[in-house]
Structure 1
């Protein structure tokens, strides 16, 4: 039987034309095809967070280039005391310029750490965008599957209603006991209740898709099928696990942590402050230059705590990079195996459904002819419903497998590179 497919196509067509907003004042827009939807999500909250993190790292890198600010000091001596310093006649007023000089390559270390921070933020951003594309694909597919589950449930209700009519006719003709009619009514009521649950699941799936896409008015339909596009086996080449965004982000984090260790170590080196100024000697009606150099004594604070913290951060980053490397290697191997298994599962599910449809068709013919009991028809219809669910589950598993492998390849599930 192809009733399920016909109903799905009719339902999808109606869904693209129907649906009101929550306020009921405007028609709800259908979600565009997945590739177009992904391109339109540049201002979604998830992407905005990633862009903000990159901008933050760029700001910190710019700040790392700054040199220490000078200070101007004005102070007076020898006034307001006892004789002969009771007035201002012997006042010595000094205007002094103080310029700190960083020693030991502090500024260059900060700048290198800032650049490494930007690189790490960009790598995290790319990994985040790939993860977002993966989640959006799953949400899009979940909405489509929820749509199809409604078609499946409506088909089962329609078929159960038809079976109930046959049962009533046979009971009225005295060919079946009334118990069979009650069994058919119970089955119909159960399927009707399940249909309401499926509708609620569809609402939740579209709400999730809309939230990920960053739109306030929830989508109520899809304008294109993502599952059908994946029906054919895509051509895929070899995947280098060490080029995956997750591993490269972990490596960039490790490099940035290493640069921060260098910064903290150099921060322990004392800085020199040069001083030069002009002093006015009121008593002699003269002016003189003053100059000096100050050097802090690192007796109590040698920045040991910050150095130890940075070294611990580096060890953690190295461990995460090693873990990311192993996960990337395992992800590629398992991803390719899961894709192959999901394709075989989808093919087997299609064969199962064809068998279940034929079984139900023959069971219904036999029951209408009075050659088999109602229990066999109910069992055949239940088997058909299970087979339809297996087909949808197989389609969902195939999408998950291909989306995971595409994420490791740096691509969207439809084959476009993630930038």
Structure 2
């Protein structure tokens, strides 16, 4: 037996989705580390026939003022975005697992109820036969009840197969091979309406800071802006300082002769315009994605609030209808035993009760899923400064 919490924990531990998001974060951290490091110097040696004959030079690349800071800022923003996306990936994975568990619960409960309905249909066949033997029913009534019982059995078998498939879905999200059914869902959906809040209350999404998806898009904009600034500062290329010594100087001063030089790139053929244009396009794209993320977040919150209200309303109504259908079913069966109603009335009451049971479970699952959607949308991180 696997509880909901155990299923979510297992998914977060073994899922490939979590592994990929974690690797993306690790890659961003490596890029940030690379942006902070200094480039290695290069050593050049040469020998000439003219004095001094031996030359040893060390070229040390350097950055223009502001280049290093922009490079580090851009990589830091990308690291922050990757970290936020890792949180979001885990939240989405937990949501998917939780939702799959809820659907599995609903389908499992529906299957069990439909099996009981099939047993009730079989009991009705027995009752019709008893009445036929007593002269109160016909062979046609027996045939009708038998066909209805067979239909109920087929519906129950289909429901059992659907419940097994839903459980396999949970098992797959947990990282367990779906070749065979190895788990069972421990938790069950509650039938009482006490869990349902007032349907007229509008759920609110609260919390300071930015939504996770918006925060990631904001960091992408910051990284693109820093990258565009860096490319502008690279118009003149990267200079280098050369230090070294010269030796073996026949006829001249002995010992090692110091050598100092400065290498400056000449922007004769290009001024890094292509890289600047690409960085500007990336910045505009990031800003557009940020605006879209904000709009999608606002729309998703509003839709989720409406869905939650509708789900609660449907669930409360379904529970009331179910109670009424069960009363009608019990009264119609009692009336049939006493000869006060027809078999068709009993079969219709059973079908209505069966549909009401299935619908109520669907609606209760929809309430749980709607609550989880609002929880997912309410995730916040401190606003990016």
TM-score when normalising by structure 2: 0.87
Distance 1:251 1:166 in 2: 70
Q: Which moved more, 1:65-74 or 1:300-309?
A: 300-309
Which residue does the alignment assign to 1:5? none
Unaligned runs of 5+ in 1: 1-29, 80-89, 412-419
Which residue does the alignment assign to 2:167? 206
Which residue does the alignment assign to 1:251? 218
Contact 1:103 1:271 in 2 (8 A): yes
Superposed displacement of residue 133, structure 1: 2.3
Which residue does the alignment assign to 1:264? 231
Which residue does the alignment assign to 1:182? 143
Distance 1:111 1:264 in 2: 13
Say whether residues 1:99 and 2:68 are aligned partners: no
Distance 1:220 1:325 in 2: 40
Distance 2:331 2:191 in 1: 29
Q: What SS does the aligned partner of 2:265 have?
A: coil
Q: What SS does the aligned partner of 1:189 have?
A: helix
Superposed displacement of residue 91, structure 1: 8.3
Distance 2:235 2:49 in 1: 38
Which residue does the alignment assign to 1:223? 186
Q: Which moved more, 1:268-277 or 1:220-229?
A: 220-229
* Correspondence list, 1:13-412, <5 A: 30-32=1-3, 34-45=4-15, 46-78=17-49, 92-216=53-177, 219-225=182-188, 231-233=195-197, 239=206, 243-281=210-248, 283-284=250-251, 286=254, 287-410=256-379
Distance 2:207 2:295 in 1: 13
Q: Which moved more, 1:328-337 or 1:252-261?
A: 328-337
Superposed displacement of residue 227, structure 1: 5.1
Distance 1:155 1:202 in 2: 15
Contact 2:122 2:149 in 1 (8 A): yes
Cα distance, 1:175–1:301 mapped onto 2, change above 3 Å: farther
Provide, for residues 177-229 of structure 1, a one-character-per-residue CA deviation record: whole Å limited to 9, x for no partner. 32322222222222222222222212221121122223458552222336569
Contact 2:301 2:377 in 1 (8 A): yes
Contact 2:205 2:378 in 1 (8 A): no
Contact 1:342 1:398 in 2 (8 A): yes
Q: Which moved more, 1:62-71 or 1:205-214?
A: 205-214
Distance 1:55 1:386 in 2: 51
Cα distance, 1:103–1:207 mapped onto 2, change above 3 Å: same
Contact 1:227 1:399 in 2 (8 A): no
Contact 1:206 1:219 in 2 (8 A): no
Q: What SS does the aligned partner of 2:136 have?
A: coil
Superposed displacement of residue 176, structure 1: 2.8
Provide, for residues 27-49 of structure 1, a one-character-per-residue CA deviation record: whole Å limited to 9, x for no partner. xxx112x3454345442223333
Provide, for residues 322-354 of structure 1, a one-character-per-residue CA deviation record: whole Å limited to 9, x for no partner. 122222223333323322222221111011001
Contact 2:7 2:97 in 1 (8 A): no
Distance 1:331 1:117 in 2: 25
Q: What SS does the aligned partner of 1:314 have?
A: helix
Superposed displacement of residue 51, structure 1: 2.3
Q: What SS does the aligned partner of 1:323 have?
A: helix
Distance 1:310 1:155 in 2: 65
Q: Which moved more, 1:93-102 or 1:326-335?
A: 326-335
Unaligned runs of 5+ in 2: 381-385
Contact 2:106 2:189 in 1 (8 A): no
